[in-house]
Structure 1
Amino acid sequence: MSKQQSHQEWLAELELKSKKKQESFMNGIASKLNRPRVLEKPAHPYRGAPDFWKEFTWTPEERMNQFTLNIEAAGGHVVHLSDMENVRQFITSKAAEMRASRIIRQNQEELAWLNLESDLPNTEITVWSDTAETNLRSKAAEADFGIVVADYAAAYTGSMVVTSSPTKGRSVSLLPTVLIAIIPVERLMTRLGEILVHFDGNENERLPAGIHFISGPSRSADIENDLTIGVHGPGIVYALIVDDFKPIPNLIK
């Protein structure tokens, strides 16, 4: 018998011993539970969410109420506004109240509608860009406010979905002290499944660089459950739900 055959027989013997130990272990558990062992794989007749959950939906009012309850339970704030003019007034008022000296926003046309530079001339406002500027992340880390337009929101979990791209840096929503996320009311869904279907089946090159689910301020706890807010992200989050998501007429250039 060759050395290779001897080695293979030894491995086979080890495998047999291992299986016997597994068998004994599983039989012991079944005996203690006083029931026979399950020897066949369980059937999985469903793939993904069941039909009843796919059909589950809330009315617009219910979505608004549940989203607000969930975000506020996590320590965030929800403000329902009628149009982008009211969004502009809210942001400028909050910036004055909190003495924000630095703001960074995504390079989105909808945020340009706000024309914040005209109302906050003494505030440094940075627009994220796809240029090779190396200090954008530093500016985001130093910013008092980060402003984004959410791609979607889910009422059932109280989550905002923010994607990233070369002109929508993830640092804008992850690094500033305060995050302000604008949510057009038509993007507020009932379930996460209604949102994920927009990304399902896409080729890798068509997927966003990042898909971020934000359900309130950053929260972290150590092994003793001492909760700390704002360690790994914004400590204050405002979700601004807007009914009329259109340009502000008197600010259109």
Structure 2
Amino acid sequence: MTVSGKESFLNTIAFKLGRERVHDVQRPDLKEWIPDSYGDLTTDELIEILKEQCFFIHTQLIESNPEILQRTLDDLIQANGGGAVITSGDTRFTDYRLNFPDSYVWEEAAGREKNILRSESANTAIVFADYALAESGTIVVESRPDQGRSLHFLPAHYIAIIEKKRLVLRSTQAAADLNRRVQAGEPMGSSINFISGPSNSADIEMQLVVGVHGPLRATYVLI
């Protein structure tokens, strides 16, 4: 793939900055300019930070474990009013032996339009987080053939399952691991989504309204 006008664009930027083009770009050491105000944290300490932040972003956090995960999710689906469920095609659903009777799976073979229609008709979406950022209460999820973007934004209720090993402090750690995967030549999604709780907006008179243009309710299940 070629990028049209790339050289002209970069030359213009360098000219506006009043310097010559820099062709040998060095990757910065993030540790040098991002302050670490927390120090070393245990997983339990990260969980406490996540719990506090979830309160501020209007997100329910439930602690569970693999043995009762199915029951936890079934209870949440019923609390959401039942209805159809859509999940990603993540292999962890099989690993944890999860099964939902009235459910769809986002799958590449179904095609884009059908997957979107399924997402629109589903009351609850359930996904596994690729990472969770304790400091901001954010989950990180890739867009992949088995997990499209609409899956996260169209259903009324959103459940993200977070494995403890996926919990990090902030985006710096998630980005470092994503970079490691890129360097190792691992396949990556078409985009990376950072989702912090249910949809909300304070654009009108600075009044916060939750559930404006996406899920009305978000729940994190920590296992």
Which TM-score applies when normalising by structure 2?
0.77
**Residue 49 of structure 1, CA deviation:** 4.0
Match of 1:110 in 2: 92
Deviations 1:98-157 (A, max 9, x none): 33211000001211334323xxx4xx2000101143221121122111000000111112
| Correspondent of 1:69 among 52, 58, 66 | 52
- Give me the identity figure in percent: 27
Letter in 2 for 1:131: A
SS in structure 2 at match of 1:169:
coil
Query: How do 1:24-35 and structure 2 match up within 5 A?
Result: none
Deviations 1:167-222 (A, max 9, x none): 11122222111111011101111222111012237379943211111111111122
Q: Aligned pair count?
A: 191
Segments ≥4 residues shifted beyond 6 Å:
none
CA distance, structure 2, for counterparts of residue 114 and residue 84 of structure 1: 9
Q: CA RMSD in A?
A: 2.4
Mind listing any 5+ residue stretches in structure 1 that lack a counterpart? 1-45, 243-253
CA separation of 1:170/1:54 partners in 2, compared to 1, >3 Å: closer, same or farther?
Answer: farther
Deviations 1:57-98 (A, max 9, x none): 3211110010111112110011111x2232210111122233
CA distance, structure 2, for counterparts of residue 170 and residue 57 of structure 1: 34
Match of 2:145 in 1: 166
| Correspondent of 2:156 among 158, 177, 181 | 177
Query: How do 1:210-249 and structure 2 match up within 5 A?
Result: 210-242=191-223
Match of 2:103 in 1: 125
Mind listing any 5+ residue stretches in structure 2 that lack a counterpart? 1-27
Match of 1:37 in 2: none
Residue pair 2:202, 2:208 contacting (<8 A) in 1 also? yes
Which TM-score applies when normalising by structure 1?
0.68
CA distance, structure 1, for counterparts of residue 135 and residue 54 of structure 2: 10
